[in-house]
Amino acid sequence: METIRIDDHEQQIAKLCHALGHPLRVGIVKYIAGHPGCICNDIVLRTDRAQSTISEHLRVLINAGLIECQHDGQASAYYIHSEALQVLSRGLEAIRAQQASPKSPNEQSKHHFK
């Protein structure tokens, strides 16, 4: 029987996936990717969420390493941490590459995402 071993790479991928486990955080990452250097208020104005809620989501994304914050006086500018996205992308690609073929056509249709 094959043993599943969890190394630092799997831990890092899990941390990144966990940070993206809320749809608003996915949206925030997409927004920051398209608007590097944006501030919290830029994001607040584009959502129906309170500033404190957005700040908490930003904190989760920063702690996971997905985004970086640069302080400029009283404002904080947010940027994508490209290396983290590369780690996540490579990790998910490795999972996809190891995917075994479904045993039957019925199994494949049960797990189809739209």
Q: Which residue has the higher pLDDT, 79 or 112?
A: 79
Residue span of the structural domain in which 46 resides: 8-94
Contact indicator for 78, 68 with CB cutoff of 8 Å:
yes
94 pLDDT higher than 80: yes
Q: Answer yes or no: is 28 within a domain.
A: yes
pTM for the predicted model, two decimal places: 0.82
Q: Which residue has the higher pLDDT, 63 or 72?
A: 63
Q: Answer yes or no: is 57 within a domain.
A: yes
Q: Answer yes or no: is 110 within a domain.
A: no
Q: Answer yes or no: is 2 within a domain.
A: no
Q: Answer yes or no: is 16 within a domain.
A: yes
Position 49 scores a pLDDT of 95
Relative orientation angle of helices 23-34 and 51-64, to the nearest 10 degrees: 80
Phi-psi label, residue 22: left if phi above 0, alpha if psi -120 to 50, beta otherwise: beta
- Residues 69-96 have a mean pLDDT of 93
CATH number at 71 reads 1.10.10.10
Q: Answer yes or no: is 35 within a domain.
A: yes
> Looking at the 3D structure of the chain, how many domains does it have?
1
What is the pLDDT confidence band of residue 73, given thresholds at 50, 70 and 90?
Answer: confident
